[in-house]
Amino acid sequence: MDLSPLSAVDRSAMRWLRTKDHPDGFALLSGDLAVATVEWAAKGGSLATARTASDSWTLKRGGFLNPHITARSGEELRGRLSVHLNYHQIDVLGGRTYRFHRAGILVPAWKVSSVDGQEVLHLEPVREGRHLSAGAVVVDPNARDNPDLLLLAVISWCFIVLAWFEDEAVVPFEGPEASTPGPA
């Protein structure tokens, strides 16, 4: 899949779509143009590879008491999403820090904002049945030229997908597709 540079596409609203080439992969699209892909090495695993027009990152979940996701380009740490009990934080190479938090208590969406509270991204997962199939990405107008935008979108989506995979594995499915028990 050919990837377009983020600077060459409309950054106001994008979407993550599950790819047909890789069952555990997603592509970040702006219109019909892909700007990034994320593919997991193994179903349910925590190791993924992200690709953009200019770079490739290895994403890896780690830690038990201090869970985190790292994004590396070769051996260089590019970013780290740290999960804490009452807040999540994304640290980017160069010393920039962002907050990563739920959009609301009952809303399944997530937000990335600067430390001073300016929203950068709004990410909302979209499901089909119990499976994650896509995600809407809305970029704040003031953040469209943020140099960290693509890394923030990728590492945040990685967190959302890993959490979703975990929920799919441990939560019994309830809904219209669930099989109904036979007569007692």
Under the banding of pLDDT at 50, 70 and 90, the label for residue 184 is very low
Q: What is the pLDDT of residues 7-21, one digit of tens each?
A: 999 999 899 999 877
Q: How buried is residue 4: exposed, middle or buried, by Cβ count under 10 Å (0-12/13-18/19+)?
A: middle
> Which residue, 55, 7, 65, 76, is CA-closest to 154?
55
| Residue 129 belongs to some domain of the structure | yes
Mean pLDDT of 133-140: 94
The 10s digit of each residue's pLDDT in 43-102 is 778 899 999 999 999 999 998 888 999 999 999 999 999 998 878 999 999 889 999 999
Number of alpha carbons in the 13 Å side-chain half-sphere of residue 41: 10
Q: What is the pLDDT of residue 167?
A: 63
Domain assignment of residue 38, yes or no: no
Q: Measured on CA atoms in the order 45, 54, 32, 114, is the torsion positive or negative?
A: positive
Q: Within a domain: residue 166?
A: yes
- 141 pLDDT exceeds 60? yes
Asked whether residue 84 is domain-assigned, the answer is: yes
Looking at residue 11, its amino acid is: R
Greater confidence (105 vs 143) lies with: 143
- Does the structure show a pLDDT above 60 at 176? no
Tell me whether residue 179 is in a domain: no
* CA–CA gap between residue 133 and residue 167 (Å, rounded): 14
Mean pLDDT, the chain, as a whole number? 88
CA atoms lying within 13 Å on the CB side of residue 68: 14
pLDDT tier, 1 (very low <50, low <70, confident <90, very high otherwise):
confident
The pair of structure tokens assigned to 125 is 């997962």
Residue 177 lies in a domain: no
Range of the domain at 163: 54-170
At residue 171, the pLDDT reads 59
Number of domains in the chain: 1
